[in-house]
Amino acid sequence: ETGVTQSPTHLIKTRGQQVTLRCSSQSGHNTVSWYQQALGQGPQFIFQYYREEENGRGNFPPRFSGLQFPNYSSELNVNALELDDSALYLCASSSRLANYNEQFFGPGTRLTVL
Amino acid sequence: AQTVTQSQPEMSVQEAETVTLSCTYDTSESDYYLFWYKQPPSRQMILVIRQEAYKQQNATENRFSVNFQKAAKSFSLKISDSQLGDAAMYFCAFLNRDDKIIFGKGTRLHILP
């Protein structure tokens, strides 16, 4: 069974650019959640996708957007990058078929905005 | 608003000793899950232990156990026989009914040889 994978591992962008981060969910999982973890902080919920539809959003501006594909993999897009967007971006997959939806985390993508 | 508070930014413990990490949370929900996650320098978030709010019995996983006080909204993690591999950031977290995880700010645990 393949775990959650994320790409790329590291990314450096400049202010104003756009970035796309990718997440492959664990086999059998139909839900993907994205979190932003600033340095020295706990992860903060960005949004969740279930069966290709957004299913809840945290306190993040519209320039943070996402997609989920039929194979349940997901993308996080950030437009007009700001310096404060520098963070570790974590995705987590889970299955809504289960009573308790344990979320399994990927290794994260470290984004640096210069 | 649902919040998770970890009041100890850093802690140190001697190898083989016992350490307790504190966590309090706030919610109006009656049914929820609480977790402790470990995040080593590799950044991978690893689930250490889980507690269902409707269960009065405290969860235990080998050397890791919790003290869950629902009325006080307290959820501490005890690590017995600390090992060098336990060194990491530990996050207390709450899963709400919308299936979203709310994390505390973390406690960095150092293990002294």
Look at B4 and A42 and tell me if their CB atoms are within 8 Å.
yes
For residue B6, the chain A residue with the least C-alpha distance is A42
Task: State whether A43 and B33 contact (CB < 8 Å).
Answer: no
The three-state secondary structure class of B63 is: coil
Residues 6+ apart with CB under 8 A from B45: A43, A90, A92, A105, B37, B38, B39, B91
The confidence band for A97, taking pLDDT boundaries of 50, 70 and 90, is low
Walking along chain B (113 residues) 10 residues at a time, the average pLDDT comes out as 93 97 94 93 90 90 96 96 97 89 96 95
Say yes or no for a CB contact (<8 Å) between B101 and A43: yes
- How many beta-carbon pairs under 8 angstroms link A with B? 56
Nearest to B89 by CA among B42, B56, B29: B42
Instruction: Determine the Cα–Cα distance for residues B102 and A41; give it in Å rounded to an integer.
Output: 12
The percentage of chain A sitting over the pLDDT mark of 90, rounded to a whole number, equals: 81
The verdict on a CB contact (< 8 Å) between A45 and B43 is no
